[in-house]
Amino acid sequence: MPVLPDSNPPEPCDPADPSLSSRHPEQLLSDVASLPALPGVYRYFDADGAVLYVGKAINLKKRVASYFQKNHGGSRIGHMVSKIVRLETTVVRSEAEALLLENNLIKTLNPRYNILFRDDKSYPYLKITGTSSSENPGSSFARVSYYRGAVEKKHHYFGPYPSAWAVKEAILLMQKVFRLRTCEDPVFNNRTRPCLLYQIKRCSAPCVGHISEADYAQDVVNAERCLRGDAQQVMQVLESRMLAHAQALEFELAAELRNQIAALSNVLHQQAVDNVSDRDVDILAVKVQGGRACVNLAMVRGGRHLGDRPYFPVHVEDAVAVYGEEGEAGPAASVIPSVEAQVLEAFIAQHYLQVPVPPSLVLSEPVNKNLIEALSIQSGIKVSAVHQPREQRRLWLEMAQTNAVLQLARLLSEEGSQQARTRALADALDLTLDTLEQLRIECFDISHSAGEATQASCVVFQKNKMQNAEYRRFSIDDITPGDDYAAMRQVLLRRYGKLAETLREARMTGQTPSGTGRLPDLVLVDGGKGQVAMAREVFEQLGLPLSLIVGVEKGEGRKVGLEELVFADGRDKVYLGKDSAALMLVAQIRDEAHRFAITGMRAKRAKVRVDGGKLEEIPGIGPKRRARLLQRFGGVRGVALAGVDDIATVAGISHDLAEEIYRALH
């Protein structure tokens, strides 16, 4: 989180102060007193070694000492300071370096009292290949494609785009106007006649020579200029070329250019970018309500509005409370940013660490100028930020603000309904809980295809939502194919066998396990009496309480909403009702376990059926040779049916390596 310059900060704490010595370790106070008066980043740790807070300061000595000057009472900052047992600092050369290091550490360490934005996935790009190779004729004709991952200098990338849909729309534009190819090189190199895309005027068929390399290269240049926002200039060039062909009585060529101009004009009209002077802009709008926040990021690339994406930070209440009481500039600071500004600054600082920053930012809240300067230094381009935009920028910002409000309302509604479902289930099963967020449910399901590739899944529900990071899959072996009861027995033993031992040791030592080291409050199994009976046997064997086990038995006709709950401890079946919020939560968790199991089963089955891993396991076979073999013989089965001499005809495969491949596949 960015900081403001210190203003009359308090004197450093004295480690000899008895009131401080009683609350904090002597080593910590000694470290605070010995800090240098230099810019840097500080980290606070608790007794378990967990990071509590990461901050930056222009003067480390004055800033860190401000935390230990007084008793903060029962406030959030008081709770944080009372937990601090250790301090780490890093001295840097400037405030910009401190800002970048601070937010790198926030994203890496996930401290409890910082606003944290988590990136669920990378941004997609539109990629245009830009190299030619004698070994690969297709690379002479650039290909346009959807791309995620690290960029390479030899190719051209456009974006990032806020969604896969936005990239696909841009690719469709490239096909409609410039007819660039989208097929992969192996397909391109083996075509003998044009594909369907040529017939519907979405490709110029360079694979079979229907367009020269020079003309295709010109189309690529025009496409790239259009993606950069030079569509009007491209239109002028195409019009001049069309007139030149018409004057030379080359009417067919002139007609082709006329059609291309019409297609491009139609696209420009649909996207209404004629009067937009901005090329690359990010529009950021923030909304805070009910302890939650949403930052809506809208993207303009090449003068075209590509869409937006919402971000929801965590730790907002704790981080804002710490920031608001102390202020990153110290207690004497006269100006403390609003909550919305703090959230927006945290997003900007963390988001653009890994994502290219455009030259213009349009913001719904004013932010620290030092933050924008740091972005400019980091990116190597001049970044400007506008808080109160006009004209087209104002319209973009209003749209982003509306979307931020709608997205946050949706999130609060979903969280509210999920909490209601959790409360309904806890009441229906008489579960004793201090808070609803403590409720931990683990659900198991078995999936296989006629006994083949049996997989078991375990999904976790806690804190009123599914915890994807704690999902687990289990490959089930050494059972009779199709025996679901044996599979259920195996997965429960593997999941709770070691945990039962840990719990016995904890009872002997008086410790209290937490997280995955403690039993869930509920163990759901997808099935009726048979699966529940097997789970009961496992829990009796491990000495675990039977009251945890609940089976989800399908109702008459296997109709949704008629499910009944079956208990392992002898209680009667319970029918919650078709419209019960508790049943909705049980069905949600059960369905997620089924989805997770079946996707794992399908992946395992596909690998087993095609022996997809065998070729890669052969020494000397890398991705390129494997691709050549699969292309030549149509798959691993085709390679297995080929003889040694046939395999040796593939480029890069010697006779000795061909023999090795043959032996491995037989």
For 314-372, write each residue's pLDDT tens digit.
Answer: 888 777 767 655 444 444 344 667 888 889 988 998 888 778 888 999 999 998 888 88
Distance separating alpha carbons of residues 230 and 249, to the nearest angstrom: 29
Q: C-alpha dihedral over 391, 394, 400, 402, to 10 degrees?
A: -110
Q: What confidence tier does 72 reach under pLDDT thresholds 50, 70, 90?
A: low
* Averaged pLDDT for residues 655-662: 84
Q: Is residue 175 part of a domain?
A: no
Q: What is the mean pLDDT of the chain?
A: 80
Last residue of a domain, one of 74, 109, 144: 109
Q: Are 453 and 559 members of one domain?
A: yes
Distance separating alpha carbons of residues 221 and 205, to the nearest angstrom: 17
Looking at residue 461, which CATH number applies to its domain? 3.30.420.340
Q: What confidence tier does 211 reach under pLDDT thresholds 50, 70, 90?
A: confident
Identify whether the C-beta of residue 113 lies closer than 8 Å to the C-beta of residue 322.
yes
Q: Where are the alpha helices (DSSP H) in 510-580?
A: 529-542
Q: For residue 5, what pLDDT is reported? A: 39
Q: Is residue 56 part of a domain?
A: yes
Is the predicted pLDDT of residue 443 greater than 90, yes or no?
yes
Q: Are 512 and 546 members of one domain?
A: yes
Q: For residue 20, what pLDDT is reported? A: 46
Q: Are 539 and 597 members of one domain?
A: yes
Q: Are 541 and 622 members of one domain?
A: no
pLDDT in tens, 108-153: 888 888 888 876 567 788 888 875 444 454 467 889 988 887 777 7
Predicted TM-score (pTM) of this structure: 0.63
Position with higher pLDDT, 23 vs 493:
493
Parallel, antiparallel or unpaired: strands 51-57 and 125-128? unpaired
Window from 126-140, 197-211, 398-412, 583-597 with minimum mean pLDDT: 126-140
Q: Are 495 and 582 members of one domain?
A: yes
Q: For residue 7, what pLDDT is reported? A: 38
Cα angle 422, 423, 425; round to 5? 65
How many CB atoms lie under 10 A from the CB of residue 427?
11
Q: For residue 251, what pLDDT is reported? A: 77
Identify whether the C-beta of residue 420 lies closer than 8 Å to the C-beta of residue 581.
yes
Position with higher pLDDT, 142 vs 608:
142
Q: Are 532 and 591 members of one domain?
A: yes
- Contacts (Cβ under 8 Å, ≥6 apart) of 511: none
* Averaged pLDDT for residues 283-293: 88
Identify whether the C-beta of residue 127 lies closer than 8 Å to the C-beta of residue 160.
no
Is the predicted pLDDT of residue 183 greater than 60, yes or no?
yes
Is the predicted pLDDT of residue 507 greater than 90, yes or no?
no
Q: For residue 630, what pLDDT is reported? A: 76
* Averaged pLDDT for residues 636-646: 78
Position with higher pLDDT, 140 vs 12:
140
Q: Is residue 328 part of a domain?
A: no
Q: Is residue 598 part of a domain?
A: yes
* Averaged pLDDT for residues 620-629: 80
Q: For residue 193, what pLDDT is reported? A: 87
Is the predicted pLDDT of residue 615 greater than 90, yes or no?
no
Looking at residue 51, which CATH number applies to its domain? 3.40.1440.10
Q: Are 644 and 550 members of one domain?
A: no
Task: For 10, list phi and psi in degrees, rounded to 5.
Answer: -70, 165
How many residues are listed for the chain in this entry? Answer: 666
Q: Is residue 381 part of a domain?
A: no
Q: Is residue 166 part of a domain?
A: no
Q: For residue 232, what pLDDT is reported? A: 67
Last residue of a domain, one of 109, 127, 144: 109
Last residue of a domain, one of 606, 621, 639: 606
Q: Are 462 and 574 members of one domain?
A: yes
Q: Tell me how far CA of residue 408 lies from CA of 336, 341, 443, in angstroms.
A: 24, 17, 29
Q: Are 597 and 537 members of one domain?
A: yes
Q: Is residue 511 part of a domain?
A: yes
Is the predicted pLDDT of residue 627 greater than 90, yes or no?
no
Q: For residue 277, what pLDDT is reported? A: 62
Read out DSSP for 322-350? HHHHH-TT-TT-S----HHHHHHHHHHHH
Q: What confidence tier does 295 reach under pLDDT thresholds 50, 70, 90?
A: very high
Joined together, the tokens standing for residue 17 give: 């102060």
Give the distance from CA 171 to its chain's centroid: 23
Identify whether the C-beta of residue 455 lies closer than 8 Å to the C-beta of residue 484.
no
Q: For residue 616, what pLDDT is reported? A: 66
* Averaged pLDDT for residues 370-397: 87
Please state the domain count of the chain.
3
Amino acid in the structure at residue 217: A
Identify whether the C-beta of residue 176 lies closer than 8 Å to the C-beta of residue 192.
no
Cα angle 380, 386, 387; round to 5? 140
Q: Are 581 and 452 members of one domain?
A: yes
Helix (H, G, I), strand (E, B) or coil at 53: strand
Cα angle 399, 401, 407; round to 5? 100
Q: Tell me how far CA of residue 155 lies from CA of 57, 124, 146, 196, 320, in angstroms.
A: 41, 15, 13, 27, 43
**Whole-number percent of the chain with pLDDT over 90:** 13
* Averaged pLDDT for residues 180-208: 86
Q: What confidence tier does 278 reach under pLDDT thresholds 50, 70, 90?
A: low
Residue 26 is part of which domain span?
18-109
Q: For residue 120, what pLDDT is reported? A: 56
Position with higher pLDDT, 325 vs 418:
418
Q: For residue 118, what pLDDT is reported? A: 72
Q: For residue 141, what pLDDT is reported? A: 87
Looking at residue 651, which CATH number applies to its domain? 1.10.150.20
* Averaged pLDDT for residues 516-539: 87
Q: Are 583 and 490 members of one domain?
A: yes
Q: Is residue 263 part of a domain?
A: no
Distance separating alpha carbons of residues 420 and 585, to the nearest angstrom: 10
Q: What confidence tier does 614 reach under pLDDT thresholds 50, 70, 90?
A: low
Distance separating alpha carbons of residues 44 and 526, to the nearest angstrom: 44
pLDDT in tens, 564-581: 888 998 888 888 877 788
Q: Are 633 and 560 members of one domain?
A: no
Helix (H, G, I), strand (E, B) or coil at 149: coil
